[in-house]
Amino acid sequence: MALNAIANVFRIAELRTRLLYTLVILGIYRIGIFVTTPGVDRAAMSAFMEDQKKAGGLVSLFNLFSGGALEQMSIFGLGIMPYVSASIIMQMLSVVVPTFERLQKEGANGRQKLNQYTRYGTIVLSIIQGTGIARYLASIGRTATQHKTGLDQIVVPEDTLWFTVMTVISLTAGTAFIMWLGERITERGIGNGISLIIFAGIIARVPSAMRQLYELTVTEVINVGEVIGLCFFILLVIAVVVYMERGMRRIPVQYAKRVAGRGMFAGQATYFPMKVNSSGVIPPIFAGALLSFPTTLSQWLPFLGRVNRALESNVWIYNGAFVMLIIFFSYFYTALTFRPDDVADNIKKQGGYIPGIRPGRQTADYISRVLDRITFGGAVYLATICVIPSLITNVMGVHFPFGGTALLIVVGVALDTVQQVEGHLISRNYEGFAGPRGPKIRGRLRVAA
């Protein structure tokens, strides 16, 4: 059955073309990872990033989302993070700025205008971040007074104004090109272009992680039984992520009879879905970036050095702060993006109501209470998934190559991509990946050519 479902994908010419186009674009992106920015010593940069991987920090977080491009100091070194940041900022502004809020409600034209503003914001953020990275690279190794290690090798042999200008132009152009590739995948490929680019960058690190695990097994740092147990545990965690990402609370909504023209339509019962994890991977990203500031900025702000030492001295303090920040940002981001008052007004305008709840203010309060409860469950789930790699590292003494944020992104994007493919299959009377008994999307067997 699984082989038939996969074979159905290649029986549709349009879907086959879209998949091939997506793979070609992702291949172009991966080739660009190895194009180094002018003026950078690639070997010194690789040695520096090896030390950063062990210490963690904001640099490691950027390297994760750039698919290893920052490690190579590629022209794609900024990755797609400026676009993600600009999208989050624009989404927040759409809630608090009336002009952006009106654009968001204007339909396709308004969304197109917001997307244009997001592109402009991406370029501005790329210039700012590119300037910061250029000056940061130039400072690596120039304050060292002892023997050369991964942290004090000179990454930029010739620190000039021209190097800064070229680095900013290269990184900004690279981010703009990645943004264009993502939009091409969304329009002419399988969809979810930006997410698939991040997904490809994370998945590309799997072979090296497997090789590292094999080397640890050969050198008897860990035994075969621990490796098998770790693999089963990862599969269990993936299953939990899939279950929670698809989990939702269905609030029943009843619509009264309505008259349209000369016809009367009977009332219907439906439901309003509320995802358990409505904030996605934004809280772990914000929490990880905030905890990385003391490590990254301690060389410029001495008082942050004490905070950094306190966090690094005790793993339980760090994990406790990480969990609390994830819970805080889960509520914060959900409050910004989900507005119970608007949902209650829309239900009321369409002639609907929640059984046992009066329309209007009481409906908004009820939705708000439900949202608070499921947000707490989603926040605890996010925090648990994100601290699991740290616990594995401390219990087994092995560096876990993928953090909880990477796992959430990989599973979430994979689920969305499968849903996109199933949509194409079902629209052409093919069964989806779930088969005829699929719990989510059910297709029909093709009985005629």
- 294-338 pLDDT, tens digit per residue, is 655 555 556 555 666 666 656 677 778 888 888 988 888 888 778
Whole-number Å distance between alpha carbons of 124 and 122: 5
b/e map 239-251, b = 16+ CB within 10 Å:
eebeebbeeeeeb
User: Any idea of the CA torsion for 250, 253, 254, 256, to the nearest 10 degrees?
Assistant: -150
Would you state the structure tokens that stand for residue 216, as one six-digit string?
């640890």
- What's 37's DSSP letter? P
Whole-number Å distance between alpha carbons of 39 and 75: 12
Length of the chain: 449
- Give the start-end residues of each E strand in 336-401: 352-353
What are residue 248's phi and psi, to 5 degrees?
-155, 160
Q: What is the pLDDT of residue 130?
A: 85
Q: What is the pLDDT of residue 62?
A: 66
Q: Within the chain, which residues score under 50 in pLDDT?
A: 1, 144-150, 439-449
Whole-number Å distance between alpha carbons of 348 and 359: 6
**Closest to 84 measured CA to CA, from 128, 119, 112:** 119
User: How many CA atoms lie within 13 Å of 271's alpha carbon, on the beta-carbon side?
Assistant: 8
- What Rg, from alpha-carbon coordinates, does the chain have? 25
What are residue 353's phi and psi, to 5 degrees?
-160, 155
Residue-range domain boundaries for the chain: 1-205+406-449, 247-401
Q: Please answer whether residues 160 and 61 qualify as being in contact, where contact means their C-beta atoms are separated by less than 8 angstroms.
A: no
Whole-number Å distance between alpha carbons of 351 and 343: 13
Q: What is the pLDDT of residue 59?
A: 61
Q: What is the pLDDT of residue 11?
A: 75
pLDDT tens sequence across 358-368: 888 888 899 99
Q: Which residues share a beta bridge with 353? A: 254
Would you state the structure tokens that stand for residue 408, as one six-digit string?
């959430």
Q: Which residues contact 279 (CB under 8 A, 6 or more apart)?
A: 329, 330, 333, 334, 337, 375, 378, 382
User: How many CA atoms lie within 13 Å of 13's alpha carbon, on the beta-carbon side?
Assistant: 0
The CATH code of the domain at 1-205+406-449 is: 1.10.3370.10
